[in-house]
Amino acid sequence: MDKIFPIKTETACRLKWGWSTIYLSLGETASCHRCNRHEFDLDTFDFHNTEEKVKSREMMLEGKWPGQGCEYCRDIEQAGGESDRTTNLAMPGVPTPPELKDNPIATSVTPTVLEVYFSNLCNQKCLYCSELFSSMWAEENFKHVGQYTSQKWSYSRHGVIFKNANSFDANKQKVYDWLKNEGHNLSQFNFLGGEPLFQKEFIECLDIFDQYPSPKLTLQIFTNLSVKKDRLVEIISKVEKLIAKRKIGGFQVTASLDNWGPEAEYVRFPLDLKQWEENFLYILSKKYINLVINSTLTPMTIKTYPILLEKVREWSKVRKIYLYQNSVNDPTNQRIDIFGNIFEEDFQKALALKPVDTEEEQLSKDYLDGLRKQSNSKEPNVKEITSLFHFLNDIDLRRNINWRKTFPWLVAEFGKYNLK
């Protein structure tokens, strides 16, 4: 698979051609986590060349922005920053579909990266998450629906959400069949949740790769690392055997952590940082595992994000750790830019701590600087600030926690808008 992307229009996106995301419990797909989801034909299981995706590719060939969530990258680029789109164009992480070698304007292509959200089974309820990705959020919403009036909460009677529970097992089998028949064409398979280390489907995927080897494939999980140590050791042992037998080419653990201290435990409730660090250091000791920390930047995480970066500097004395960050687009009341330019000093502290030893690290730093520029270009959004104030009050009532104690700077900031 060629890693040179041949399409050079001003809006062309490597992810739109090579990447597919499946939200299996919903029967929906997207080209990346920024794009709008849409349904696909579960009978044919053609998730990559849907009418919506092909149309978006055609528009990009014409140098047009297709909408459908691509505005996220457009806005960052127009503010002078590096977006997900431009970062992925510069990095060789998503190989080009083979069809583009013979026809550089092909719009019906083979995916090179597939990621699947099997279910929302999870043991955390992160502040910016929802019941779609967290069963704990779903259970909380059901318990408290109607109790608080500042936010319209959706809810489900069951923690694990399925659009059609009766067909989930059949659709899951279609993913497994696709991996058996087409998995060898992938460079990367991402398992997301929910929390993969809690889901039986992850073990089932390991069994599939054992029976149907993909020796060039990198398997990646996105995990909160908040499981008991013996459970983690058991799963890592299974992966080690797959790599030793050349059933897969590599394994990457992308550990989710946004910042450090009590602020981190508030945002990723009910995170236990001591347990997280113990599990992280165990993974760090496994040198064959590519280790990444992925941080989500919001008004509640940016101020202590530099502390996490300082911790990473210490851990990196053992071996290389890769750092990526993203920002929240939805819910809109947790966008990093709703307060305008008040985080300039925090951004500068973080930028000073970001490593730039590799091209990928420089691009990651440029992306962070793009978020800074985007935030500085915005005026405070009073509507979203007000929404965040009421949201945090509701969260405190639900979880018996205290945002005023955890984020004292927010008290003064909200006070500027008569929110007390």
My answer on whether 360 and 225 are in the same domain is yes
Nearest to 41 by CA among 56, 29, 31: 29
Q: Give 150's pLDDT tier (boundaries 50, 70, 90).
A: very low
pLDDT tens digits, one per residue of 47-93: 999 999 999 999 999 999 998 889 989 988 898 888 889 888 877 66
36: which DSSP letter? P
My answer on whether 94 and 120 are in the same domain is no
Q: What is the pLDDT of residue 220?
A: 97
My answer on whether 118 and 94 are in the same domain is no
My answer on whether 90 and 119 are in the same domain is no
Q: What is the pLDDT of residue 141?
A: 84
Question: In terms of residue numbers, what domain contains 78?
Answer: 14-106
208: which DSSP letter? H
Angle at CA of residue 347, ends 346 and 353, nearest 5°: 95
Q: How far apart are CA 168 and CA 201, in angstroms?
A: 12
Q: What is the pLDDT of residue 193?
A: 86
My answer on whether 297 and 341 are in the same domain is yes
Cβ atoms of 97 and 18 within 8 Å: the answer is yes
Q: Euclidean distance between the first and final Cα of the chain, in Å?
A: 57
Q: Give 317's pLDDT tier (boundaries 50, 70, 90).
A: very high
Least reliable range by pLDDT among 79-88, 134-143, 158-167, 286-295? 158-167
Angle between helix 200-211 and helix 165-182 axes, rounded to 10 deg: 30
DSSP H helical ranges for 183-228:
200-211
Q: What is the pLDDT of residue 166?
A: 65
My answer on whether 39 and 144 are in the same domain is no
What mean pLDDT do residues 2-23 have?
89
Q: What is the pLDDT of residue 162?
A: 57
Q: What is the pLDDT of residue 157?
A: 40
Q: What's the mean pLDDT when you consider all of the chain?
A: 91
Q: State how beta strands 19-23 and 28-30 pair.
A: antiparallel
What mean pLDDT do residues 237-246 have?
96
- Confidence check: pLDDT of 158 > 90: no
Q: What is the pLDDT of residue 164?
A: 59
My answer on whether 79 and 208 are in the same domain is no
Q: What is the dihedral of CA 228, 229, 234, 237, to 10 degrees?
A: 150
My answer on whether 118 and 100 are in the same domain is no
Cβ atoms of 295 and 324 within 8 Å: the answer is yes
Q: What is the pLDDT of residue 3?
A: 64
Element (H, E) at 404: helix 403-406
What mean pLDDT do residues 236-245 have?
96
Q: What is the pLDDT of residue 2?
A: 56
My answer on whether 332 and 360 are in the same domain is yes
Q: How far apart are CA 58 and CA 196, in angstroms?
A: 35
Q: What is the pLDDT of residue 154?
A: 45
What mean pLDDT do residues 324-348 have?
94
Is residue 400 in some structural domain? yes
pLDDT tens digits, one per residue of 283-305: 999 999 999 999 999 999 999 99
pTM for the full predicted model: 0.91
Give the C-alpha distances (Å, rounded to integers) separating 220 from 199, 349, 374: 15, 30, 30
Q: How far apart are CA 338 and CA 301, in angstroms?
A: 14
My answer on whether 42 and 168 are in the same domain is no
Is residue 2 in some structural domain? no
pLDDT tens digits, one per residue of 102-120: 999 999 999 999 999 998 8
Percent of the chain with pLDDT over 70: 94
Q: What is the pLDDT of residue 163?
A: 58
Percent of the chain with pLDDT over 90: 75
- Confidence check: pLDDT of 1 > 80: no
**Domain termination site, one of 58, 81, 106:** 106
- Confidence check: pLDDT of 151 > 60: no
Cβ atoms of 22 and 47 within 8 Å: the answer is yes
My answer on whether 89 and 207 are in the same domain is no
Cβ atoms of 413 and 300 within 8 Å: the answer is no
Cα 334 off chain centre by: 15
- Confidence check: pLDDT of 153 > 50: no
My answer on whether 70 and 96 are in the same domain is yes
Domain count, the chain: 2
- Confidence check: pLDDT of 147 > 70: no
Angle at CA of residue 222, ends 280 and 176, nearest 5°: 130
Is residue 6 in some structural domain? no
Q: What is the pLDDT of residue 87?
A: 85
